[in-house]
Chains A and B, each alone.
Chain A
């Protein structure tokens, strides 16, 4: 696969390390009363769609930026790549 890095242009996916659903950026409030339940849902439950998926990739062999890649899990087509810290 090729990921079109917003700063570097097209890069082979082998330069990146995959993490998972971009919802992992939405860390719940640790002070919430039901924090354990919220953190459980945040860490363990996934939409796991067959189709468009916003997901996190780390450019480990590059600029070490975390990217949010919008990719279709059925066709692997990539439609959008953003820097995580700017999203």
Chain B
């Protein structure tokens, strides 16, 4: 009985022509219903092709879904659920499906044998990229990708279950029923929108009712079980470690429909039962690829499930006990008769047999045996074994992935009764007992392997990639005899169906050529995904602005109000500069911010710096281990700059740590390394020094922190910090720290630290007060003309002061390279100290961080330039180092740079050339001290 609903017609178009199908149709069944046989063109020879299968293995009937300028290419017609308004175009036909000019390839096919590319297109050399390759690229490919963004949304979800059952045919339904009735949490997934598998296509009786009816009744019961989740139209595409499966659920084929088009499920299962059935395979005889030649089982699906009429004269050829097809003639290879050739350019019109007999027919069903769908058993690299009597690969029980069982046709148990029986025993092994299996047909498959008909003409093995039996024997002749070599040399099995209809036939032909058995020749192995998955579904919602999370500081809203341009700093958005009316570009804003800060006072949001609370009796000793310099003897109420190394001796991060009490330090890290440093400290604490009494917690997000810098910084802060706290230079000198209250009692931490080189403080309040505090500070600063400054001005001022930052702490530099060798305590060990003493890292002529100014102050120094001694050739052998940071100094009125140059600490005053090919800017620069502004640090201490 047909399962389409004739009362619900649906309009669709194919190549611009309108057709009508019904609810319950696939695009394939609807095309057949409308007598469309020619549906596509093959990859290499552009041969006319029709529908071969009825499931996701379909190699030929690929088409593009079109909607509002968006194209979804390479959709199998067999897997598109027909909907009203569906617009589909055929692929790879140029200019059209009916008239494809590249069909000329078919005529010159004698010269396009397997591997011909490798032997030709070499003369002349330049022609490969200019002539040959563009032509090949144009001819190749399948569907088109529109360059428009994908308008659809995709969801991701996570499911947990006791038993995942993959495939809802006879075996899977029965297993779900047994496990579901036993109360197990079951997920039953099937790639078809209609569950039932072959029960929908092969007429039979189960417990006295028809197969379709039994499936319907079973599904209905499963729906009533709250512990069973049914996932139709869901392809379990891959098996991963520790019982994790990937699955793709398709909600609709319509492009741009509301809601998620597809859902990517990650399923965590205790056990899995693979009941994915089997796929019939073709036989390789001459011209076996014409439209109208179809797998016998697919013909039954179209007849019985979709109600397609193949007329009075379909022909069947088979090598096994398939009996269910309607056929006017049966060509059974077991009776020594076979199809030797076919005719009909754009569609089959007759077949000829080895006996010489010709039979006129539009339809030929082919049954070359069955390939169990054991793909998921191979995803963790188990290999199947060959079953000679069934002429197919079956799962090898000894190498199955843990907690997986295979039942039914997927396990080579092809009769419905065997499927039920294997479901019973699989469930029993999981502790779910059940009664007698339903009564059903129980004739085992009888097959005499028959793979291909030898002859002069081409017989197709891989339809989509146009691999013929001759290609396989030629590959063998040329020494490509291992299965993997054949596959790679001929492209066998590498099409969109991944060899589901072709691999075993190809292997059999290779075995024949090698004069070996199939198991001696090799096996096939399958990789995920079982069926292709849209890249968009793997990405899910994590695209566009939502590609990664966005972190905003407590003053973000205020900064935006002040005209901030924001810049990505890791996941943070930080204010880069604050543009004001009349400013002609970012440099104007940055210069103003620097000048205001250096002449009066500027405020910068430094909340993004990493903050780590370090507490415990051994906190000081612990910091001594992770910093090169000493912190154990730091007095409470004081801060200190600290440099941290990786164990390989390379500088990892720098920052300050403040000591609030004997047992409490607060460490700051750079924005970029906050997570990394925390992980490193926990490693040191838990893995290297587990006996120390020290505890760590990241408080980065608990504190809003602002730098207040400039000659008027103290005056401003005295208006903010509550009166009872004396922050005069005497009471709160450079590098002091303390707990204070601000704005009438709000708790805060105050640090007298400076990155800018000015009199400066950092003040921190709990995050929730951050917005209020920044507004209060700027209001208090109005009388001084205070302004916000962003990361650019911050960068300018740190370069003017010669402070190394991320560009210098680039993962290849040591304390010595950075000019901080003096910081490394000689009295104690610390992480990284030993390996920093390796000969290559302490070489006298190694790179040293120094300052650079242009010899001609009008020249612009550029970042990334390399240094070459004047007069030396500009090549790698004469490279002296590179520029790492550059800024325009408004205070000095010219550019200043920091960079690494060989032996730089002893070369002050020397001129070298800074070569910058990529910006076409070669200039002479002078090596100077990196401390451009206030080198003695007088301003810090006023």
| Contact string against B for A residues 32-71, beta-carbon threshold 8 Å, 1 for contact and 0 otherwise | 0001100110010000000000001010100011100000
- B194 CB to nearest A CB, Å: 34
Given contacts A2-B244, A43-B647, A58-B679, 8 further A-B contacts (CB under 8 A): A2-B268, A24-B687, A25-B688, A39-B835, A64-B678, A84-B687, A84-B690, A85-B687
Is A7 engaged at the interface, CB distance under 8 Å to the other chain? no
For A71, the closest partner residue in chain B by CB is B241
Q: How far is the CB of A12 from chain B (nearest CB, A)?
A: 8
Q: Which of B394-449 contact A (CB under 8 A)?
A: 402
Q: In this complex, what residue of B is CB-closest to A67?
A: B686
At the interface, yes or no: B101 with Cβ under 8 Å from chain A? no
**In the complex where A36-B838, A76-B241 touch, is A66 in contact with B833 (Cβ < 8 A)?**
no
Which residues in B have their C-beta under 8 angstroms from that of A60?
Answer: 675, 679
Instruction: Determine whether B682 belongs to the interface, using a CB cutoff of 8 Å to chain A.
Output: yes
Whose C-beta in chain B lies nearest to the C-beta of A75?
A: B380
Query: CB distance B686 to A66 under 8 Å?
Result: yes
Write the chain B residue with the least CB distance to A22.
B687
Instruction: Please state if A30 and B829 are interface contacts (CB–CB under 8 Å).
Output: yes
In whole Å, how far is A5's beta carbon from the nearest beta carbon of chain B? Answer: 13
Cα distance A40–B648 when bound, in Å? 8
B682 adjacent to A66 (CB under 8 Å): yes
Q: Which residue of B lies closest to A59 (CB)?
A: B682
CB within 8 Å of A: which residues of B? 240-244, 268, 380, 402, 647-648, 675, 678-679, 682-683, 686-688, 690, 829, 833-835, 837-838
Given known pairs A2-B243, A30-B829, the reply for A56 and B838 (CB within 8 Å) is no
Chain B residues, CB < 8 A from A27: 647, 688
CA distance A24 to B243 in the complex (A): 30
Kindly identify which residue among B380, B678, B690, B833 contacts A30, using a CB–CB cutoff of 8 Å: B833
A40 near B687: Cβ-Cβ < 8 Å: no
Give min CB distance, A20 to chain B, whole Å: 11
Q: How far is the CB of B684 from chain A (nearest CB, A)?
A: 9
Contacts of A31 in B (CB 8 A): 829
Q: CA separation between A8 and B686, bound complex, in Å?
A: 18
Q: Can you list 27 A-B pairs, Cβ within 8 angstroms, ordered by A?
A: A1-B242, A2-B241, A2-B242, A17-B679, A19-B683, A25-B687, A25-B688, A39-B647, A39-B834, A40-B835, A56-B683, A56-B687, A58-B682, A58-B683, A60-B675, A60-B679, A64-B678, A64-B682, A65-B686, A66-B682, A66-B683, A66-B686, A76-B241, A78-B242, A84-B686, A84-B687, A85-B690
How far is it, in angstroms, between the C-alpha of A60 and the C-alpha of B687 when the chains are bound? 15
The answer to whether A30 and B687 have CB atoms under 8 Å apart is no
CA gap between A41 and B254 in the complex, in Å: 59
Max chain A Cβ within 10 angstroms of own Cβ: one of B240, B687, B838: B687
CB nearest to B696 among chain A residues: A64
The CA of A25 and the CA of B686, in the complex, are separated in Å by 9
What are the nearest 8 A-B pairs in CB distance?
A30-B829, A2-B242, A85-B686, A1-B241, A25-B687, A66-B686, A39-B834, A76-B241
Query: How far, in angstroms, from A31 to B827 measured CA to CA in the complex?
Result: 12
Distance between Cα atoms of A78 and B837 in the complex (Å)? 39
Q: A84 to B678: give the CA distance in the assembly, Å.
A: 17
Contacts of A35 in B (CB 8 A): 834
Min CB gap B475→A, angstroms? 31
Binding site for B on A (CB under 8 A): 1-2, 17, 19, 24-25, 27, 30-31, 35-36, 39-40, 43, 56, 58, 60, 64-66, 75-78, 83-85
Query: Which chain A residues border B675 with CB–CB below 8 Å?
Result: 60
* Interface class of chain A by DSSP: mixed
Contact A43 B835 (CB under 8 A): yes
A39 cross-chain contacts in B, Cβ below 8 A: 647, 834-835
Residue in B679, B690, B834, B837 whose Cβ sees the most chain A Cβ within 10 Å: B834
Give the distance to chain B from A10, nearest Cβ to Cβ, in Å. 8
Give Cα distance in the complex from A54 to B761, angstroms: 47
Q: Closest CB-CB distance, B759 to chain A, in whole Å?
A: 38
CB contacts (< 8 Å) of A58 on chain B: these are 679, 682-683
Q: How far is the CA of A2 from the CA of B682 in the complex (A)?
A: 22
Whole-angstrom distance between the alpha carbons of A56 and B402 in the complex?
A: 25
Inter-chain CA distance A31–B402, complex, in Å, is: 49
Beta-carbon nearest neighbor of B691 in chain A:
A85
- How near does chain B come to A8, taking the closest CB pair, in angstroms? 15
In whole angstroms, what is the CA distance A40 to B402 when docked? 40
Complex CA gap A56/B687 in Å reads: 9
Closest to A42 in B: B647
A58–B682 alpha-carbon span in the complex (Å):
9
B221 CB to nearest A CB, Å: 32
B834:A30 contact, CB within 8 angstroms? yes
Q: Which of B242, B678, B837 touches A36 (beta carbons < 8 Å)?
A: B837
> What residues of chain A lie closer than 8 Å to B834, measured between beta carbons?
30, 35-36, 39
How many Å from the CB of A23 to the closest CB on chain B? Answer: 11
Of the candidates B244, B647, B835, the one having the most CB atoms from chain A within 10 angstroms of its own CB is B835
Residue among A1, A66, A77, A83 having the largest count of chain B Cβ atoms under 10 Å: A66
- What distance in Å separates the Cβ of A29 from its nearest Cβ neighbour in chain B? 9
Q: Distance in Å from the Cβ of A24 to the closest Cβ of chain B?
A: 7
Distance, CA A41 to CA B835, complexed state (A):
11
Query: How many angstroms between the C-alpha atoms of A65 and B834 in the bound complex?
Result: 27
Q: Which residues of A contact B243 (CB under 8 A)?
A: 2
Nearest Cβ distance between residue A81 and chain B, in whole angstroms? 12
Task: Give B675's nearest chain A residue, CB to CB.
Answer: A60
Residues on the B chain within 8 Å of A17, using CB: 679
Task: Report the minimum CB–CB distance from A57 to chain B (whole Å).
Answer: 11
- Complex CA–CA separation, A39 to B688 (angstroms): 14
Q: A60 CA to B834 CA in the complex, in Å?
A: 28
B676 to chain A, nearest CB (A): 10
In the bound complex, residues from chain B placing their C-beta under 8 Å from that of A85 are: 686-687, 690
Q: Which of chain A's residues has its CB closest to B158's CB?
A: A12
Instruction: Verify B835–A36 contact, CB threshold 8 A.
Output: yes
Which residues of chain A come closer than 8 Å to B647, judged between CB atoms?
27, 39, 43
Point out the residues of chain A lying under 8 angstroms from B687, CB to CB: 24-25, 56, 66, 84-85
In the complex, what residues of A have CB within 8 A of residue B837's CB?
Answer: 36
Minimal beta-carbon separation of B734 from chain A (angstroms): 33
Closest Cβ–Cβ distance, residue A22 to chain B (whole Å): 9
In the assembled complex, which residues on chain A have CB atoms less than 8 Å from the CB atom of B678?
Answer: 64
Q: A43, B648: Cβ atoms under 8 Å?
A: yes
- Taking CB atoms, residues of chain A closer than 8 Å to B240 are 1
In the complex, how many angstroms separate the beta carbon of B693 from the nearest chain A beta carbon?
13
List chain B residues, Cβ under 8 A from A40.
835, 838
Could you tell me the distance between the alpha carbons of A35 and B829 in the complex, rounded to whole angstroms?
11
Chain B residues closer than 8 Å to A25, beta-carbon distance = 687-688
From residue B443, how far is it (CB to closest CB) to chain A in Å? 40
* B835: A residues at CB distance < 8 A: 36, 39-40, 43
CB of B683 to closest CB in A, whole Å: 6
CA distance A75 to B675 in the complex (A): 31
**Cα separation A17 to B680 with both chains bound (whole Å):** 11
> Chain A residue with minimal CB distance to B831?
A27
Nearest Cβ on chain B to A36's Cβ, whole angstroms: 6
Give Cα A1–Cα B242 distance, bound, in whole angstroms: 6
Residue numbers in A under 8 Å from B244 (CB-CB): 1-2
A78 to B682 CA separation, bound complex (whole angstroms) = 24
